[in-house]
Chain A
């Protein structure tokens, strides 16, 4: 009898795995098809838009770029120069020096001729107090620059300080080391201004990896494909995630995450929902989920927009240690957000957000590494107990591998037919090579980081942000 029950449980286990695998493949295929349609539509819609037209208008809505900085002394001057070179007409740049221990502030004061200014701040969100205060430049060339020096409180706290200080209608929250293209703000603001039937609450853009790219005068000068497999693998991963995954979720209006590296928000709404949560390391995702939840509760038609143009270039980890630390944080951020907003999940009151986006993220993002890990353990047990059916195992593994390669190749083709950023001769071969190697050079580490993230979340609550060592972009 016991054996019988055990056998039923094992069979059930097998079927659950099968259902999970088949459903995840089905999801990927559906998302890929939707992405292809959406990308094509987007390209068509924007192929002849003259973005220069809007940036020259005095009626363009105001945007504040908020960039938190912590110990960014190495590149801060160049990074700020890059942010100040945007072509949008009505914007300012708020650099929040979040209690840096290095000489970031001194460098900014000296290069940009900063002087302390008296500013009346409406502290709608509680934040850590100011340290040396608020600075503005005496040089009219840098009139758009505001530097805030405050006590250390983490990225969310720094962004909230920026939200309190900003007087603009929209806020672009970015990582200070990000290189924004000159027309990035025009492209990001477009969906907010274009929509007449729904309120656009936030917009996210594609993040591209700048490792090995050449930067001149704060502008992207030459796009190169890096030599390290880890960096190449991340490029492929980003193309896959941003061009296939997020594009499809955007079409479905089910986007749950806007990358912390670059996102544009309706400031009034961001403030209304309480700004960034200081108690999570996944503040970017958490804010979007909270804003969406609020809109659903208020029964207001809304949309989270997504721009597939490569608008923001950022440095990706070039060592496995930093890479694992980053992915560990992403995992903890996802767990924290989904846990905090568990009332949304499977709740028809939240419509698509509750019935599709949340369940998808729960099963195929949050649970995926755990299910994969359990699968590996079970596979190991079967090997040890000599109960493995090698013919089944082998064919399943091969098929899973080939599916990953197919998916990556489709992403690469989408990239070629749309933005074609890696034009140089010889890069095509490297891209195909990394599509085959990525499951070995990236995926095992992603899995390891995710499992470690789960362990850290449940057993090491003190762990917050990991370290990210900046090398700086290659200058021409």
Chain B
């Protein structure tokens, strides 16, 4: 007790700053103790949560397998009805609902055919679809995004309008889920959302949409031409990618117009796509004003020329063999080698620049 009193006396007699420092020290000690216990409970909690999840997973996996593999003449057997009712009750608990959902998703990915249809049916029967639809009206963006993803995984086409209302959601994560839902479930038709999309379609979104589209068997009805006219530049970029992937020759006229688009990125991409589509008209348009275009466009044009040149381009190409931009120079030399070998060979003797000669030698060999 005397030590305690001595400490109190010492503090009382100390200057104010010392008193504050010791109070803060005491506070920090309490915080440290709290943090240590918090860390301990977190680690313990995470371990026990893992165990609980494993336990529930085992229990509900058994239910699901019983449901899926029970045979009956009726549409739904008595034992299946019991399981449905039990699972329906369980879904009231959000923790169990989450486990059940992850089990169903896992199952859906692993099985196919009738069993997959049964999983889908069960999803509706135990009322999980209602929770997912309800999520679409939640205040928090990540709840909405998860809801859309779930509806996508279980192919709930009926939620189209509820999902569509998030087309211009301020969070890109929600928009991305909405877009994937549309394309996954409604295929090419699903892309009609592009007409109403006001926000930017990021490269990440575009790549994911393309991945889904490329998996589809029927790729008709893609309205590429109209998307190429969009005021939303990101949609134009996406349409250019589609035109390239699907070799959409019908879009060439529209893409030619994009050679004069206000955004450089679109002009460069258009040149690249026109090259892939072998659109010779583009060559003549670009040859006429190539000098006034940016370096990126010039590089893209010369890459195109490697694909679309003919003998009549010799004088034009010859003017670029000394171009300061490496890519342009290399392209011009490659073309010249094919068009006029003698002229190309003569360059070796005319030049003393070692860098230039290195390029010539490389092109000569390859």
User: Do they bind each other?
Assistant: yes
Interface SS, A side: helix
- CA–CA, A211 to B330, complex, Å? 48
Per the bound structure, the CA–CA distance linking A382 and B204 in Å amounts to 61
Question: C-beta contact mask, B135-162 vs A, less than 8 Å → 1, else 0?
Answer: 0000000100110010000000000000
How many chain A residues sit at the interface, stated as a range, is 35 or more
Q: Are A416 and B36 closer than 8 Å at their CB atoms?
A: no
- In the complex the two chains form, is B208's CB within 8 Å of A53's CB? yes
Question: Contact at A416–B173, with CB atoms within 8 Å?
Answer: no
Q: Tell me if B24 is interfacial: C-beta within 8 Å of chain A.
A: yes
Interface residues in A39-77 (C-beta closer than 8 Å to B): 44-45, 47-48, 53-54, 56-61
B55 within 8 A of A: no
Of B18, B28, B201, B211, the contact of A57 (CB 8 Å cutoff): B211
Residues A379-414 near B (CB distance < 8 A): 391-392, 395-396, 398-399, 402-403, 405-406, 409-410, 412-413
Asked if B1 is an interface residue, CB under 8 A from chain A, the answer is: no
Residues of A within 8 A of B173 (CB): 45
A392 near B39 with CB under 8 A, answer no
Binds B, one of A148-156, A192-200, A247-255, A368-376: A192-200
Q: With A120-B359, A416-B46 known to touch, is A57 a contact of B204 (CB < 8 Å)?
A: no
State the interface size on chain B (CB cutoff 8 A). Answer: 51
**Residue B28 contacts which of A53, A190, A403, A420 (CB distance < 8 angstroms)?**
A403
Question: Nearest chain-B residue to A45 (Cβ)?
Answer: B173
A409, B32: Cβ atoms under 8 Å? yes
- State whether B21 touches A399 (Cβ < 8 A): yes
**C-alpha spacing A291/B365, complex, angstroms:** 38
Give every chain A residue within 8 A of B326 (Cβ-Cβ): 122, 124
From 318 to 363 in chain B, residues with beta carbon under 8 angstroms from any chain A beta carbon are 326-327, 330, 355, 358-359, 362-363
Is A118 part of the contact surface with B, judged by Cβ < 8 Å? yes
Quick check: A48 and B149 within 8 Å, CB to CB? yes
Q: With a CB–CB cut-off of 8 A, which chain B residues contact A56?
A: 211
Known: A53-B208, A396-B21. A391 touches B31 (CB 8 A): no
**Which of A120, A192, A405 is the most central at the interface, judged by chain B CB atoms within 10 Å of its CB?**
A120
**A431 CA to B38 CA, complexed, in Å:** 13
Residue pair A120, B330 in contact (C-beta under 8 Å):
yes
Max count, chain A CB within 10 A of own CB: residue among B146, B199, B204, B366: B204
Digit string of A252-273 for contact with B (CB within 8 Å is 1, else 0)? Answer: 0000000000000000000000
Chain B residue with the shortest CB-CB distance to A190: B204
Instruction: Indicate if the CB atoms of A406 and B28 lie closer than 8 Å.
Output: yes
Of B18, B29, B327, the residue contacting A402 (CB under 8 A) is: B29
Q: Is A417 an interface residue (CB 8 A)?
A: yes
Alpha-carbon distance A183/B132, docked complex (angstroms):
29
Asked whether B35 is an interface residue with its Cβ less than 8 Å from the other chain, the reply is yes
B366 surroundings in chain A (CB, below 8 A) = 118, 120
For B38, the chain A residues whose CB sits under 8 A away are 413
Q: How far is the CA of A420 from the CA of B32 in the complex (A)?
A: 20
Bound-state CA distance A58–B24 (Å) is 59
Residues on A with C-beta less than 8 A from B85 are none
Q: Which of A54, A61, A405 contacts B211 (CB 8 A)?
A: A54
Contacts of B363 in A (CB 8 A): 120
Contact residue among A44, A57, A194 (Cβ-Cβ distance under 8 Å from B142): A44
**A428 at the A/B interface (Cβ < 8 Å)?**
yes
- Say yes or no: is A432 at the interface (Cβ < 8 Å to chain B): yes
* Least CB distance, A320 to chain B, in whole angstroms: 28
The answer to whether A193 and B202 touch across the interface, beta carbons within 8 angstroms, is: yes
Contacts A392-B17, A395-B18 known; A193 to B207 CB distance under 8 Å? yes
Q: Which residue of B lies closest to A395 (CB)?
A: B21
Chain B residues, CB < 8 A from A428: 39-40, 43
Is B234 in contact with chain A by the CB < 8 A criterion?
yes
Chain A, 116-142, CB within 8 A of any chain B CB: 118, 120, 122-124
B226 within 8 A of A: no
Contact indicator A392/B18 (Cβ below 8 Å): yes
Of B24, B35, B208, B358, which is within 8 A of A54 by CB?
B208
Is B70 in the interface zone, CB < 8 Å from A?
Answer: no
B204 near A54: Cβ-Cβ < 8 Å: yes
Beyond A44-B142, A57-B211, A196-B202, whether A416 also contacts B35 by CB under 8 A is: no
Chain B 9-39, CB within 8 Å of chain A: the 1/0 string? 0000010011001101100110110011011
8 Å CB contact of B35 from A118, A395, A413:
A413
Cβ A391 vs Cβ B207 within 8 A: no
Does B275 count as interface, using CB distance less than 8 angstroms?
no
CB atoms of B25 and A399 under 8 A apart: yes
Is B210 part of the contact surface with A, judged by Cβ < 8 Å? yes
Smallest Cβ distance from A163 to chain B, in angstroms? 14
User: Which residue from A48, A196, A391, A406 sits with its C-beta under 8 Å from B200?
Assistant: A196
Q: What distance in Å separates the Cβ of A392 from its nearest Cβ neighbour in chain B?
A: 7
B43's nearest neighbour on chain A, judged by CB, is A428
Is the pair B204, A410 in contact by a Cβ cutoff of 8 Å?
A: no
Residues of A within 8 A of B208 (CB): 53-54, 57
Find A409's partner among B18, B35, B149, B355 (CB 8 Å cutoff).
Answer: B35
Contact assessment for B210 and A57 in the assembled complex, using a CB-CB cutoff below 8 Å: yes
B234 touches A118 (CB 8 A): no
**Chain B residue at smallest Cβ distance from A44:** B142
In the complex, chain B residues whose CB is within 8 Å of the CB of A47 = 142
Docked CA distance A48–B149 (Å): 9
Distance between B169 CB and nearest chain A CB, rounded to angstroms: 14
How distant is the Cα of A214 from the Cα of B3 in the complex, in angstroms?
A: 52
B211 x A194 contact (CB < 8 A)? no
Chain B residue numbers with a CB within 8 Å of A48 are: 145-146, 149
User: With A48-B149, A57-B210, A402-B29 in contact, do A432 and B21 touch (Cβ < 8 Å)?
Assistant: no
Instruction: Check A402/B32 contact, CB under 8 A, given A195-B202, A391-B18.
Output: yes
Further 18 A-B residue pairs, CB within 8 A, beyond A57-B210, A59-B210:
A53-B208, A54-B204, A57-B214, A124-B326, A190-B204, A192-B203, A194-B172, A196-B199, A391-B14, A392-B17, A392-B18, A399-B28, A406-B35, A409-B39, A413-B42, A416-B39, A423-B46, A428-B39
> Can you give 9 contacting A-B residue pairs, CB < 8 Å?
A54-B207, A59-B241, A60-B207, A193-B204, A194-B203, A405-B32, A406-B28, A412-B39, A416-B39
Instruction: Give 8 nearest A-B pairs by CB, closest first.
Output: A196-B200, A402-B28, A193-B203, A193-B204, A395-B21, A409-B35, A120-B362, A122-B326
Q: Which residues of B approach A to under 8 Å, CB–CB? A: 14, 17-18, 21-22, 24-25, 28-29, 31-32, 35-36, 38-40, 42-43, 46-47, 142, 145-146, 149, 172-173, 199-204, 206-208, 210-211, 214, 234, 241, 245, 326-327, 330, 355, 358-359, 362-363, 365-366
